[in-house]
């Protein structure tokens, strides 16, 4: 007789209640213009392919467990020591390590809207979130961030999905006044905004999180890193999987990181295309937040000059029919009348704008 097992009922209560993170669509077929998950439209540095193929012969061996070499080159670039750096299987891994170490039953703080993975990561540890809502201006509410007194506060700067970057003055004001850890998630900072790295020397309660997925064009490789005091890094290392970053990922990230010239030129291309795309959206009269990231968060208006959730949803669907994927966040009043468009190549942005024009002519 078949033995049954109620996998749902037997899971821990917080896992039963968990909703898995829903990433942006990753269509597998050809012919899509993919502007929905803030990836880099350009290939990574050619040095990545060389480093990866040279490493293949080493694959029978386990990777170096702490990614020491990568920690060292990153530390040197930021004027830190390897003890101030931890490497993750994507920056999502770093966010999880921080949560495992420091988020108590009270839950973690975050601004709303921001990166929707934070609640998922907290939920996996059986913890909740304390919301600090934005208003439409998207300015940081320092008082509210301080008032919730969270053990860990996740701040995305530049923010997602808006692209709005926060000033170092505001970030420092938070650091001075909170008792817990401030995590500044700088996934997009290479495209604009001020980095909080310089504040690490004065604030032991700061963790800066970065990723290779966006500006280094390595989303498929899954490498991110955290910068913090040696004491915090030491704690994160205690809960890290022994081999959390594979051999190929370690050498690929290092090769991309060290090819500064290539990095600079690709970064500048994205910034230039962002500016030209914004000019086009401005011409349409759409409101778009000032973006320091590799995406634009814009509020479409239809041919009749109307905006709102139905208008944004209609554009999203029209673009999808045209095989142009952007991101739509219908669940929140501050996001439901907007779409988020990742910055692709000039040709991809042109195709996006052509599809927008055809929507305007039909909507």
Ligand X SMILES: Cc1ncc(COP(=O)(O)O)c(C=O)c1O
Point out which residues bind ligand X (CB under 6 A): 38, 90-92, 115, 156, 160, 185, 187, 211, 213, 219, 224
Minimum gap (Å) between residue 230 Cβ and ligand X: 23
Q: Output 213 or 273, the one with its CB closest to ligand X.
A: 213
Bond prior to 280 in cis (omega within 30° of 0): no
Q: Output 117 or 142, the one with its CB closest to ligand X.
A: 117
Q: Output 90 or 107, the one with its CB closest to ligand X.
A: 90
Q: Output 102 or 154, the one with its CB closest to ligand X.
A: 154
Length of the chain, in residues: 363
Minimum gap (Å) between residue 91 Cβ and ligand X: 3
- Answer whether 270's CB lies under 8 Å from 276's CB: no
Minimum gap (Å) between residue 340 Cβ and ligand X: 10
Minimum gap (Å) between residue 22 Cβ and ligand X: 12
Instruction: Write 233-241 long-range contacts (CB < 8 A, 24+).
Output: 233/83, 233/84, 233/85, 233/86, 234/83, 235/101, 235/102, 236/86, 236/94, 236/97, 236/98, 236/101, 237/66, 237/86, 238/101, 239/97, 239/100, 239/101, 240/86, 240/88, 240/97, 241/89
Strand order in the sheet with 129-133: 85-88, 224-227, 206-211, 181-185, 152-156, 108-112, 129-133
Q: Output 194 or 356, the one with its CB closest to ligand X.
A: 194
Q: How far apart (Å, rounded) are the C-alpha atoms in residues 270 and 253?
A: 20
Minimum gap (Å) between residue 38 Cβ and ligand X: 5
Minimum gap (Å) between residue 350 Cβ and ligand X: 24
Q: Output 233 or 311, the one with its CB closest to ligand X.
A: 233
CB nearest ligand X: which residue? 90
- Answer whether 297's CB lies under 8 Å from 289's CB: yes
């Amino acid at each position: 007789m078949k033995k049954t097992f109620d996998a749902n009922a037997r899971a821990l209560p917080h896992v039963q209640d968990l909703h898995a993170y829903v990433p942006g669509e990753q269509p597998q077929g050809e012919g899509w213009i993919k502007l929905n998950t803030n990836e880099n439209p350009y290939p990574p540095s050619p040095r990545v392919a060389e480093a990866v193929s040279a490493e293949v012969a080493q694959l029978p061996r386990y990777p170096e467990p702490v990614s020491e070499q990568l920690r060292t080159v990153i530390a040197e670039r930021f004027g830190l020591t390897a003890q101030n750096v931890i490497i993750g299987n994507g920056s999502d891994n770093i966010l999880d390590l921080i949560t495992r170490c420091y988020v108590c039953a009270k839950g973690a703080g975050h601004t709303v809207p921001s990166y929707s993975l934070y609640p998922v990561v907290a939920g996996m540890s059986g913890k909740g979130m304390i919301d600090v809502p934005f208003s439409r201006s998207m300015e940081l509410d320092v008082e509210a961030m301080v008032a919730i007194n969270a053990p860990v506060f996740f701040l995305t700067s530049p923010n997602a999905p808006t692209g709005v970057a926060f000033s170092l003055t505001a970030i420092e004001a938070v650091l001075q006044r909170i008792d817990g850890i401030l995590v500044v998630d700088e996934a997009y900072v290479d495209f604009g905004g001020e980095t909080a790295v310089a504040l690490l020397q004065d604030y032991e309660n700061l963790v800066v999180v970065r990723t290779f997925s966006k500006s280094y064009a390595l989303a498929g490789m899954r490498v991110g890193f955290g910068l913090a005091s040696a004491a915090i890094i030491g704690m994160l290392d205690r809960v890290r999987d022994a081999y959390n970053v594979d051999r190929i990922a370690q050498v690929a990230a290092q090769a991309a990181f060290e090819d500064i010239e290539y990095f600079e030129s690709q970064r500048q291309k994205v910034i230039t295309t962002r500016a030209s795309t914004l000019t086009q959206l401005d011409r349409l009269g759409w409101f778009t937040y000032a973006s320091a990231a590799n995406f634009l968060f814009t509020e479409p208006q239809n041919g009749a000059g109307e905006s709102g959730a139905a208008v944004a949803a209609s554009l999203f669907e029209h673009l999808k029919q045209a095989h142009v994927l952007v991101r739509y966040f219908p669940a929140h009043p501050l996001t439901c009348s907007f779409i988020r468009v990742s910055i692709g190549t000039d040709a991809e942005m042109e195709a996006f704008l052509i599809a927008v024009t055809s929507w305007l002519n039909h909507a």
